[in-house]
């Protein structure tokens, strides 16, 4: 039995009640058009659903943050062509948006998806983001790819900053929770898997866990290959997708991560010196991981005098993915403490990374519509 609450004006309230009346597996408890009544209501479970009329949020913008913190799932009913509706959906951390015009057709499918969650795959897909050369945008790609995967899929995603001097934590400017070293120390000294997982930073509103690099540079020596293997085994056991931001160089740490990887995204930039270094590392990696390797050309539209065929020839490999320059937007987003795909989703780089995440999810999960994917695509279409 799915418990549903409705926070709506009379028109949406009546339409919603009509749609839900014929479903014997749904119980409607709270019906109100008063936001403060919804805020004071005692919700019994995080699996309960609150259907929210967007017109109420538009009239009471100061209460959106409070509604978003209610311990239940939210579905927003509004006009999908309205960019402001999409913005309020993101602020509400809505599980989905339902077009008020298509309410009767769309709401049953959305509620059904909540009652039949996707099964967790038996094997996590581990995606390493690597480059032999610094300054090619590796951390930006890793962070935004992980965030986009979490928005595209309802399955859990993890981002692990394996670079001892990594800056993923700084890029989101949030309390990082346990770092890579914290978890490694805990596991080495008998901490239970459950407590280790509870110590990790979970991004509010989406199924993304972030494990940042150590905050103290003096702790970098504690990031060892055996300890990383234990950490990855734990992370893989409860996440469907794991993105690893790897340091430069062919170290034991990187080889351990690559051994655990399903695919290795090797970032390059259209610069001759950079391509020479990356090409030599690809020659070595191909001996061990040839089937896993996928070259990603970042800032591919930069005016460097090298075109795609020339880059491919220099690396002796096909360019599997092409990413345009994001201009100053990635730095601007990082300065605001937000991923690019959330801060400026219409930026060319953000759109390319969202498309890459969509392809990865579709390849694994099939083409069945996912609520978070739909929310993002609707938001982008609305002009966020």
Q: What is the DSSP string of 290-335?
A: TTTEEEEETTTTS-SS--HHHHHHHHTS-EEEE----TTHHHHHHH
Residues 105 and 140 in one domain: no
Q: Which alpha helices (H) appear in 189-224, and where do they start and end?
A: 193-198
Q: Return the pLDDT at 117.
A: 59
Question: What is the average per-residue pLDDT within 243-260?
Answer: 93
On whether residue 295 sits in a domain, the answer given is yes
Of 347, 341, 348, 352, whose CA–CA distance to 376 is shortest?
Answer: 341
For residues 159 and 189, membership in a common domain is answered with yes
Specify the higher pLDDT residue, 351 or 380.
Answer: 351
Strand 96-99 with 73-78, pairing: parallel
Which of 168-177, 225-234, 244-253, 305-314 comes out lowest in average pLDDT? 168-177
Question: 199: which DSSP letter?
Answer: T
Q: Which residue has the higher pLDDT, 100 or 370?
A: 100
pTM, entire model:
0.75
Q: Check which CATH number belongs to the domain holding 246 and give it.
A: 3.40.50.300
pLDDT of residue 256: 95
- Tell whether 52 is covered by a domain: yes
Averaged pLDDT, 144-169: 89
pLDDT of 1: 84
Distance CA 362, CA 21 (A): 34
- Looking only at the bridges linking them, the beta strands covering 263-268 and 293-297 are parallel
Say whether both 178 and 316 belong to one domain: yes
pLDDT in the model for residue 372: 47
305: left (phi over 0), alpha (psi -120 to 50) or beta: left
Could you say which of 115, 143, 170 is where a domain stops?
A: 115
**Helical axes 308-315 vs 272-289, angle rounded to 10°:** 50
The pLDDT, as a whole number, for residue 174 is: 62
Which domain range does residue 110 map to? 2-115
Distance CA 157, CA 206 (A): 9
Report the candidate in 323, 271, 264, 315 with the shortest Cα–Cα distance to residue 135. 271
Q: Is residue 43 in some structural domain?
A: yes
Mean pLDDT of all residues in 238-264: 94
Q: Is 348 in a helix, a strand, or coil?
A: helix
DSSP character for 375? H
Kindly state whether residues 195 and 111 are assigned to the same domain.
no
Provide the pLDDT for residue 383.
Answer: 46
How many structural domains compose the chain?
Answer: 2
Task: Summarize the confidence of residues 157-170 as an average pLDDT.
Answer: 88
69 or 378, greater pLDDT: 69
Q: Quick check: is 120 in a domain?
A: no
Q: How confident is the model at residue 70 (pLDDT cuts 50, 70, 90)?
A: very high
Mean pLDDT within 278-305? 94
Does the pLDDT value for residue 328 go beyond 80? yes
> Which backbone phi and psi does 382 adopt, to 5 degrees?
-75, -10
User: Could you tell me which of 196, 177, 199 has the C-alpha nearest to residue 187?
Assistant: 196
Q: Which of 113, 107, 67 is nearest to 91 (CA)?
A: 67
| 225 in the same domain as 137 | yes
pLDDT of residue 173: 65
Q: How far is CA 217 from the centre of its chain?
A: 27
Least confident of 16-20, 87-91, 284-288: 87-91
Res. 116 pLDDT band, cuts 50 70 90: low
Greater model confidence, 165 or 358: 358
- The pLDDT value recorded for residue 249 is 86
* Closest CA relative to residue 155, chosen from 85, 89, 208: 208
Length in residues, the chain: 384
**Residue 30 scores a pLDDT above 70:** yes
What integer pLDDT is reported at residue 223 of this predicted model? 80
Token pair recorded at residue 296: 């990603």
CA distance 185 to 200: 14
Would you place residue 115 in the very low, low, confident or very high pLDDT band (cuts 50, 70, 90)?
A: confident
Of the pLDDT bands very low, low, confident and very high (cuts 50, 70, 90), residue 381 is very low
Structure tokens at 365: 């999960």
- 115, 150, 177 - which closes a domain: 115
Quick one: which of 261, 240, 264, 258 has its CA closest to 150? 240
Question: For position 56, which CATH number holds?
Answer: 3.40.50.2300
Residue 206 confidence (pLDDT):
78
Judge whether residue 204 has pLDDT over 90: no
DSSP labels, 16-46: HHHHHHT-TTEEEEEEES-HHHHHHS----T
Final residue of a domain: which of 89, 115, 141?
Answer: 115
State the pLDDT at residue 319. 95
- Residue 273: CB atoms within 10 Å: 9
């Amino acid at each position: 039995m799915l418990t549903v609450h409705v926070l709506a004006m009379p028109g949406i309230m009546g339409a919603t009640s009509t749609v839900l009346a014929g479903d014997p597996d749904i119980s409607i408890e709270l019906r109100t058009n008063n936001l403060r009544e919804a805020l004071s209501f005692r919700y019994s479970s995080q699996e309960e659903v609150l259907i929210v009329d967007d017109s109420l949020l538009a009239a009471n913008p100061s209460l959106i943050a409070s509604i978003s913190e209610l311990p239940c799932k939210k579905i927003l009913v509004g006009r999908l062509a309205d960019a402001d509706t999409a913005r309020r959906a993101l602020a509400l951390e809505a599980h989905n948006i339902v077009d008020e015009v298509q309410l009767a057709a769309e709401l049953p499918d959305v509620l059904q998806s909540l009652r039949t969650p996707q099964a967790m795959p038996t094997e996590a897909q581990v995606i390493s983001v690597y480059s032999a050369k610094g300054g090619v945008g590796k951390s930006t790609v890793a962070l935004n790819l992980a965030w986009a995967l979490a928005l595209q899929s309802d399955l859990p995603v993890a981002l692990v900053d394996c670079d001892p001097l990594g800056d993923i934590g700084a890029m989101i400017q949030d309390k990082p929770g346990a770092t890579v070293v914290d978890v490694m120390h805990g596991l080495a000294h008998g901490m239970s898997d459950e407590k280790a997982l509870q110590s990790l930073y979970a991004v509010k509103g989406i199924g993304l866990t972030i494990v940042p690099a150590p905050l103290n540079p003096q702790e970098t020596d504690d990031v060892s290959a055996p300890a990383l293997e234990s950490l990855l085994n734990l992370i893989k056991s409860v996440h469907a997708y794991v993105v690893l931001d790897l340091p430069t160089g062919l170290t034991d740490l990187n080889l351990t991560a690559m051994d655990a990887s399903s695919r290795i995204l090797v970032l390059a930039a259209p610069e001759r010196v950079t391509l020479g270094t990356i090409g030599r590392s690809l020659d070595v990696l191909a001996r061990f991981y040839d089937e896993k390797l996928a070259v990603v050309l970042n800032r591919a539209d930069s005016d460097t005098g090298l075109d795609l065929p020339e880059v491919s020839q220099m690396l002796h490999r096909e360019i599997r993915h092409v990413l345009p320059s994001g201009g100053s937007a990635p730095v601007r987003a990082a300065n605001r403490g937000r991923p690019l795909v959330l801060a400026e989703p219409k930026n060319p780089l953000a759109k390319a990374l969202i498309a890459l995440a969509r392809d990865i999810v579709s390849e694994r999960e099939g083409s069945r519509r996912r609520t978070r994917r739909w929310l993002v695509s609707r938001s982008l279409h609305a002009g966020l």
